[in-house]
Structure 1
Amino acid sequence: MRKITIAILALILVGMLIPVGFSTDSNVVITYGETTYANSNYKSNVDSFFESQTNYDVDNVGSKIITADQVNKVSSSITGRTYNSNQILSSALVDLNDNDNLQVSVDKSKITVITGDMYISALKSAGITSGHVYVTSPVSASGESALAGIMNSYEEVTDVEIPDSVKQAANDEIYTEAEIINNSNVSADDLSKLVDDVKEEVSNDNVTDHSTIVNIINNYVQTNNINITNSDIENLADSIQQVQNVQDDVSNYQSQVSDFMDNATSGDFSLDSLFDWIKSFF
């Protein structure tokens, strides 16, 4: 009788701890482009995509708004391009509960330039190797501005800031690839594979010299019969060199994120453990 009474009191305590309708997960964050967030129809379309792809009720998921100012801090120094507040459409959901391997699911009906593999490559350049990312837009968009939101989401979830130098390198990679695709006949898949192969060789051999990186790119271009200009190759070499030069900052960021993940899995309050304890009384 005493055990049952204690268990009932424990269940009452749990009920007091959990508000009605509570299902917020601190490991999941949505970032909305400010144009999308300001338009109820746009936001509804984006929310519908996220809910169709995940098991989450978006009303119970934390969110942030990515503004033109935030995107321009990155884009203006890379391409010289600036965006208005009515041009930030791409939105992303980041789920760190699915953290074995980095995955990116892109709404191909709306994101017209940047592919899932491109996001993965750029995020890995920033030291991000886990989580499931979903990217969409209410109308057709290149997807370039989404990377700023994705990285912002990771900062929000982990409470670890990505160094500016790392953000710059990752965004430069995305913008460089987008420019090449827009100005040439190369496919997004071929270009993404080229960048990944070159980055892997550059990383393995710890190459930081620009001319050496250019030679590596030329070798891959010729071997795989990829048609890009010398200017494209120079720009790619600059981008990959920048990624290579920030590896110390990347390693430091990864160390801090690892500490967060270790603490999150070992020290957080667990409802499952509490319910197991309650069941032990019966």
Structure 2
Amino acid sequence: MKKIIAILVVLILVLTPGLALADIAVGDVIVSLGENLTDSQKQAILEEFNAPEDALQITTSNQEEHKYLGGVIPAAQIGSRALSSVMVTYTQKGSGIKVSTNNINYITEQTYTNSLITAGINDADIQITAPFEVSGTAALTGIMKAYEVSTGEAIDEDVKKVANEEMVTSAELGEEIGDENATDIINEIKKQIAEQNPQTTEDVKNIVINVVNNFNINLSQEQIDKLVSLFDKMKDLNINWNQVANQIENLSGKATEFLSSDEGASFLSGVRDFFSGLANWIRSLF
């Protein structure tokens, strides 16, 4: 009976533009499955997610993936099948976004998180998977669609596109300078945009160049131009920059809190022991 009600809710949302659901509750779950999965693949993914039987289920199509990734990456890279799947579990206010992935070999968990912050999505645990290794570029579309269906709140189409562009730009930059450096640079640019409220392309360019220089990382002119182009688009969109900056600070605070905890201290100790053991082993070879 619950599944029938869930299907009716989705139909009402599709057929009645502007109609919003009541506020989502902590613990609410929605699953977006790739439209081209086989029945056995769908079942395996639902089992992997440990999805509740009454979880709302939707599908994301390859056509939707091309809509938001077209012009950002080659069509051949997007492919012709929608396989990436996601499960979104809403968490308490202020908890932030937590992303975990499986069989995703290109887009990092942090990159998804940052792109979702740009899109205005907060306070959710998000699992992303596929039946075998895929790039993961299409998963963001499924997450945003799941958010819209479950909350009844539409995400601006231009914001969706720029969030996808941020995801790809960050992944490309990460291949050249490392994922952590790419994430740090993009996050700092966002914070500077929130503080400075740039009005022109030249303002954005100055922010990008200053941030990159402060990180003492050498980027090519092409990489600089891509960052300027991305954030020049962002500055003109309906993005809550204060919220974006707060979410970034929240993520940084949680990382610091973890490293200061007993669990974090144990983790760092384990890392130190590993490298100490590795150094001793190398010395023993000579």
TM-score, normalized by length of structure 1? 0.69
* Residue 235 of structure 1, CA deviation: 0.6
Distance 2:98 2:2 in 1: 32
Determine which of 67, 79, 84 is the counterpart of 1:73.
67
User: 1:140 aligns to what?
Assistant: 133
* Residue 20 of structure 1, CA deviation: 9.2
User: 2:150 aligns to what?
Assistant: 157
Q: Does 1:38 align with 2:38?
A: yes
* Aligned-residue CA RMSD (Å): 2.7
Distance 2:5 2:157 in 1: 33
- What is the number of equivalent residue pairs in this alignment? 221
Distance 2:65 2:186 in 1: 23
SS in 1 for 2:224: helix
Determine which of 62, 80, 83 is the counterpart of 1:85.
80
* Residue 213 of structure 1, CA deviation: 2.3
Determine which of 221, 233, 253 is the counterpart of 2:224.
233
SS in 2 for 1:225: coil
Distance 1:123 1:141 in 2: 20
User: 1:210 aligns to what?
Assistant: 201
Which runs of 5 or more residues in structure 2 are unaligned? 7-23, 244-286
Taking a change above 3 Å as real, the CA distance of residues 94 and 230 of structure 1, as seen in their structure-2 partners, is: same
SS in 2 for 1:179: helix
Distance 2:116 2:56 in 1: 21
Distance 1:141 1:20 in 2: 32
Q: Does 1:187 align with 2:178?
A: yes
Which runs of 5 or more residues in structure 1 are unaligned? 1-18, 255-282
Bigger CA radius of gyration: 1
Distance 2:2 2:155 in 1: 35
CA deviation profile, 1:208-240 (whole Å, cap 9, x unmatched): 422332332223323323343221111112112
User: 1:4 aligns to what?
Assistant: none
Distance 1:23 1:125 in 2: 32
- Between 157-166 and 211-220, report the one with greater CA deviation: 211-220
* Residue 62 of structure 1, CA deviation: 1.3
SS in 1 for 2:184: helix
Distance 1:158 1:122 in 2: 19
* Residue 49 of structure 1, CA deviation: 2.9
User: 1:246 aligns to what?
Assistant: 237
Taking a change above 3 Å as real, the CA distance of residues 104 and 142 of structure 1, as seen in their structure-2 partners, is: farther
Taking a change above 3 Å as real, the CA distance of residues 23 and 178 of structure 1, as seen in their structure-2 partners, is: same
TM-score, normalized by length of structure 2? 0.68
Question: Is the 8 Å Cα contact of residues 89 and 139 (structure 1) preserved in structure 2?
Answer: no
Letter paired with 1:105? V
> Deviating runs (4+, > 4 A) in structure 1?
19-26
